[in-house]
Amino acid sequence: MALSVHLLRPWQKLLVGSTASVMTSKWSRCSSVLSGNRVRMVEKSPNSTDPETSQGVCTIHGKQQQQATPISRAVFPPQAVFKRRFSALCGSSEVQEGALIMEKVCLNEAARMVEVEWSGGGVSRFPYVWLRDNCQCPQCFNPDSRSRLVLMLDLDVNVSPVRVEVQGGSSLSVEWPDGHQSQYDRHWLRERCFSTQALSERQRDWHRKTQLWGADLAHNLPKADFPALLTDDRALYDFLIRLDSVGLVLVQNVPCDVGQVEKLANRVAFLKQTCFGKDFEVVTKMNPSDLAFTSVQLGLHMDLPSYNYTPGVQMLHCIEQTTGEGGDNSLVDGFNAASQLKEENPDAFRLLTTVKVNFNYVGTDHHKYFFRTRQNVISLDDQGEVQSITYMDLSRSSILDLPADLVQPFYDALKAFNTIMYLPRNCLSLKMAAGELIIFDNTRTLHGRSAYSPDSGTRHLQGGYMDWDEIYSRMRAIKADLGIED
């Protein structure tokens, strides 16, 4: 049943034009923050009361709609009430399923948007071109591959509907000039609402819920049971959640033989190969390609900063531990250290977030390699939050592409950051026992190792890497499979 069909006449286009342009610029600013996926948690109040936007939504159906007769059949509540209802319906995830009914639909030709009014008074606006591009019919969208079949080559970005209607309160029907018919489900539309508040709510999906930590994490170390990780998807999911938020998990009850790192990686996705090969052994070697393969102290570092696609996560499985002194791992939350640097020494923080440092890695292991990158020691995301740390003394290049006057301040800043990392309150010490495995965020949790005597028995670790894309993908898939709520 068609509830309403409205088309604006040419003279009516003039009535709504100015408001539409305000809204468009505001919204495009909001949508730009959706581009990243490794954004630290930033608590922000929703923008639902933003006067500019709220005014914009209302104005279309405010004074002006009194003149635009064809769309004035809808009776709109006073603005304050409208705002509240709009927030409740269009922007909030607390919508009652029963309340999600499309009451009216109209075309706003000036803004080139289809406007859907929900029961209760909220309005969602869907741009014409977006609707045409996202037609869900079998000609335009393949449900098996969940892929768009409409090619940009064939998309008329200036297309306008000739007719819109709501069917049964649950489906929006659109007819296009070539006779093509599109149907859009109310829930599908609701999930894709362009309102400021809906954009703000969806932005939370992109936030990383980071828990900063210091040395006292040793008393409360996130732990996981290896056999459970291999068999129980929920246990695997909870483990990955903690890996993401804390950046460090101790896995216990791991068999003391090689191949376990790969087994764990295969439960998530697969190992990331590097110049070390599929995985690597940390044992004392003759003529080592890397200082890791000696018994000397290793300063706090990440692995492979000289990769543009640096491994996201590192695993170190202790197969055999030295019985003598040393061989402990130091672990530091680089995000926590960066946040302390920002507080205590903003100039140093600014320098490390803006100055690019060269990292090189040249040698032979699995094959002959020569890597180089240029990175900020502390990288920020588009919200100004710390996104990753790139830190390793041994592969920081002697070629420093800085004006000479900046070199001393740069070293001062690096030293200040390093000093904070090593503070006893920040630096956690952990001597793994055979059968334990640490897994940590390679671009956040810096790790080091105290020296040990190669004469006090063998120390044998096996290591491997994974990428965050694979981890996040697995987390989302398990979440969907098991129906896990946030």
Which of 2, 137 has the CB closer to Zn ion? 137
- Cite the DSSP H helix spans in 298-435: 334-344, 346-354, 404-422
Structure tokens at 71: 């769309």
Query: Tokens 């040990």 identify what position?
Result: 452
Q: Which residues pair with 183 in a beta bridge?
A: 173
Altogether, the residues listed in the chain come to a count of: 486
How many residues at the interface with Zn ion, by CB under 5 A? 4
Q: How far is the CB of 6 from Zn ion (least distance, A)?
A: 22
Q: At closest approach, how far in Å is the CB of 2 from Zn ion?
A: 20
Q: Which residues contact 138 (CB under 8 A, 6 or more apart)?
A: none
In this structure, are residues 438 and 432 in contact, taking their beta carbons and an 8 Å threshold?
A: yes
Only segment of 52-60, 137-145, 260-268, 394-402 that touches Zn ion (CB under 5 A): 137-145
Residue placing its CB nearer to Zn ion in the complex, 97 or 178: 178
Residues in a beta bridge with 172: 166, 184
Any residues with CB less than 8 A from the CB of 78 and at least 6 apart, and which? none
Shortest distance (Å) from residue 155 CB to Zn ion: 11
Q: How far is the CB of 74 from Zn ion (least distance, A)?
A: 28
Largest CA distance in the chain: 91
Residue 243 sits at φ, ψ, to 5 deg, of -60, -40
Q: Which of 5, 101, 140, 241 binds Zn ion (CB under 5 A)?
A: 140
CB 58 within 8 A of CB 82: yes
Closest approach of Zn ion to the CB of residue 138, in Å: 8
Task: Supply the minimum distance, in Å, between the C-beta of residue 178 and Zn ion.
Answer: 10
Of 138-146, 265-273, 285-293, 352-360, the segment contacting Zn ion by CB under 5 A is 138-146
Single out the segment in contact with Zn ion by CB under 5 A; choices: 127-135, 162-170, 395-403, 422-430.
Answer: 127-135
User: What DSSP assignment string belongs to 139-170?
Assistant: TTEETTTTEE---TTT--TT---SEEEEETTT
User: Looking at beta carbons only, is 176 or 237 nearer to Zn ion?
Assistant: 176
- Nearest-approach distance from CB 149 to Zn ion, in angstroms: 8
Plot region of 359 (φ>0 → left; ψ -120 to 50 → alpha; else → beta): beta
Task: Out of 2, 80, 99, 137, point to the residue binding Zn ion (CB under 5 A).
Answer: 137
CB nearer Zn ion, residue 139 or residue 323: 139
With binding defined as CB under 5 A, does residue 135 bind Zn ion? yes
Residue 358 has which token pair? 């060269």
Q: Verify binding: residue 174, Zn ion, rule CB under 5 A.
A: no
Question: Does residue 149 touch Zn ion according to CB under 5 A?
Answer: no
The residue range among 118-126, 135-143, 316-324, 348-356 that interacts with Zn ion, by the rule CB under 5 A, is: 135-143
Sites of contact with Zn ion (CB under 5 A)? 135, 137, 139-140
